[in-house]
Structure 1
Amino acid sequence: MELKVTRYAVDEAGVATVWLHRPERRNSWTGRMHDEYRWICKQLDDDPKVKVIVLTGTGHTFSVGADPRALTGYVTADHYDPALPKDAERPGYGIRPEFDTDMAWQLGMSKPMIAAVNGACAGIAVALAAFCDLRFAVEGAKVTTATPRLGLPAEYGLSWIMPRLIGMTYAADILLTGRVFLAEELGSMGFFNKVLPEAEFAKHVDEFAHMLAAASPEAVTTAKRQLWADLLHSDVRAAVEESKALIGALMNKPDYAEGVAALMEKRAPKFVR
């Protein structure tokens, strides 16, 4: 696919960075960007060399959400059209039927996803960040769903995931008011793992991503699948029993043998995917 509004790169450690790339429009979201983003993520999830995916925006903006020109066009439309081709890639699909839909497919990805919110984040971009596994933000970044001020509902599953990330009380504040939050306030709610000064932001995200990339890829994928799957049921016994079965299965894998050997030899493990 020819990439016009996104870009990506993978370093030697297996850390992939994906940029929303419309700096002249503050990385605003379009159907084309949606299609390219899904295509990139499918390539990265299928690539055994990739261990971590970092999502960010070009310049000093994460994404201001839907392009205002597209929003204007919907005023006279009789239905919502996400402008996604029927043959668009389906990364993360096939793991659980609950995840086989827009944005929620990020939960089905085998690779952990980190949202690096490097500036303003609005509308659908909040959902992009929310459905990542981890989130970091630069101090002063403005974040808003904006939808209540546009006469729209909570979009793309935010009403499902926000209460699970930060609780019902904070989620209601974000989704009902549509007010503008600074990253620091959302950090205090638990939405962001950490909020950092601009001078430290890129370095911290990079170091965190590489720390994650050094872990056992199979163990990380398995734990990610456990985290999201267990949110879908309230049976703690099932979670415990499933984890015990997974322990037995992963103990027969090379990563476990390497992890134990590294522990005994007091060295960093060298996992091979």
Structure 2
Amino acid sequence: MTEDVVLAERHGPVLVLTLNRPEKLNAWNDAMESRYYTLLDEAEADPEVRVVVLTGAGRGFCSGADMEDMAIVRERAEITIPQAAVPQCRPLIFKKPLIAAVNGAAAGIGLVHALYCDIRFASAEAKFTTSFSRRGLVAEYGASWLLPRIVGHSRAADLLLSGRVVKGTEAASIGLVDFVTDTDHLLTTALDYASDLASNCSPASMSTIKAQLFFAEENSFYAAFADADIRTLEAVVKPDLVEGVTSYLEGRPPAFPGLSFRQQ
């Protein structure tokens, strides 16, 4: 069933989404994409969901595009130039924190989906590769935009040109991932981090900060500074500031309201 290709499990305010084609190391196909994006839409609209963690079932995170599907597409000559990239990068515009827990192979589009996340955890034995150049492809799905901003130009060039495999420890040393742990504690560690965000950080603040980061990528420091001034004036009249300050002064956990973003 289509629903089985991505599993959803709630841990309080944290939603864990698990790519679930373990027999193929969670290779990406149309059914997985459709289910994953539907679950992101639902999570974005649900005020009870504050953070999403993405991981993979079995030994892999996502081994890349399903090669059998790609062969079928080529045989049928169905390759067309897309008119817009927005559907493909849906996770990049997700309005709540999105955390990757990379438990194994993350290749090609699998690596890109890890890059679409805001924070990346990985096991020391996780394997990362762009793989595009080794399959006769180019830097797809915005990888040429994402990688230089995450690891720098020359390291992005290395990863994209060579398609070499980088393990979790090296990935952390070059900034490709943010936290490395052993495989047995990977999901627990990512969940602990996600639960802290969900319990102690304002959903409104986190959503706005994500928007600021994206805005700042394409604008100058002065534009980002001015944008922050406007957003600050908006924030000081909202209840989250009152709750944040009051809970701090009273020495108790904050009780911030959740957010619901309805699809237009």
Which SS does the other structure have where 1:53 is aligned?
strand
Question: Aligned-pair distance for 1:48?
Answer: 0.9
Letter paired with 2:191: D
The partner residue of 1:256 within 231, 241, 246 is: 241
**Is the 8 Å Cα contact of residues 2 and 32 (structure 2) preserved in structure 1?**
no
Could you tell me how far apart the structure 2 residues matched to 1:67 and 1:34 are? 12
1:61 aligned partner, one-letter code? G
**Map of 1:175 onto structure 2:** 160
Contact 2:37–2:91 (Cα < 8 Å) also in 1: no
Alignment match, 2:176: 191
Partner residue in 1 for 2:127: 142
1:12-47 C-alpha deviation (Å, 9 max, x unpaired): 2x1011111111221111111111111111111111
- What is the alpha-carbon distance in structure 2 between the residues aligned to residue 191 and residue 43 of structure 1? 28
What is the letter of the counterpart of residue 145 of structure 1?
Answer: T
Q: Shift of the alpha carbon at 1:8?
A: 0.6
Normalized against structure 1, the TM-score is what? Answer: 0.89
Is 1:213 matched up with 2:212?
no
Contact 2:14 2:53 in 1 (8 A): yes
Structure 2 gap ranges (5+): 259-264
CA distance in 2, matches of 1:118, 1:195: 10
Q: Which residue of 1 aligns with 2:86?
A: 100
Q: Give the secondary-structure state (helix, strand or coil) at the position aligned to 1:3.
A: helix
Q: In the alignment, what sits opposite 1:25?
A: 24
- Residues in 2 aligned to 1:251 and 1:20: alpha-carbon distance in whole angstroms: 40
List per-residue Cα deviations over 1:169-192 (Å, max 9, x = no partner): 110011010111111111111010
Residue 100 of structure 1 deviates from its aligned partner by 2.8
**Aligned equivalent of 1:240, options 219, 225, 228:** 225
Deviations 1:91-117 (A, max 9, x none): xxxxxxx983412x3232111100110
User: What is the CA-CA distance between 1:238 and the residue it aligns to?
Assistant: 1.5
Deviation at 1:81, TM superposition (A): 6.1
For normalisation by structure 2, the TM-score amounts to 0.91
Q: Which residue of 2 aligns with 1:92?
A: none
On the 8 A contact 2:25/2:60 being kept in 1, the answer is yes
Residues 99 and 217 of structure 1, relative CA distance in 2, 3 Å threshold: farther
SS in 1 for 2:3: coil
Is the 8 Å Cα contact of residues 147 and 178 (structure 1) preserved in structure 2? yes
How many residues end up aligned between the 2 structures? Answer: 256
What is residue 214 of structure 2 aligned with on the other side? 228
Out of 98, 102, 106, which is 1:113 matched to?
98
1:212 corresponds to which letter in structure 2?
L
SS in 2 for 1:246: helix
Aligned counterparts of 1:200 and 1:3: Cα–Cα separation in 2: 27
Superposed CA deviations along residues 122-178 of structure 1, whole A, max 9, x for unmatched, are: 111011011111111011111111111111001100001100111001100110101
Whole-Å separation in 1 of the counterparts to 2:46 and 2:191? 20
Correspondence 1:164 to 2:149:
yes
Output the aligned Cα RMSD.
Answer: 1.9
Percent identical pairs in the alignment equals 36
Task: Please say if residues 2 and 31 of structure 2, whose CA atoms lie closer than 8 Å, have aligned partners that are also in contact.
Answer: no
Say whether 1:5 aligns with 2:22. no
Moved segments of 4+, more than 6 Å: none
Change (3 A) 1:81 1:121: farther
1:71 aligns to what?
Answer: 70
Aligned letter for 1:149? Answer: R
Q: Which runs of 5+ in 1 are unaligned?
A: 85-97
Cα distance in 1 for residues equivalent to 2:98 and 2:31: 21
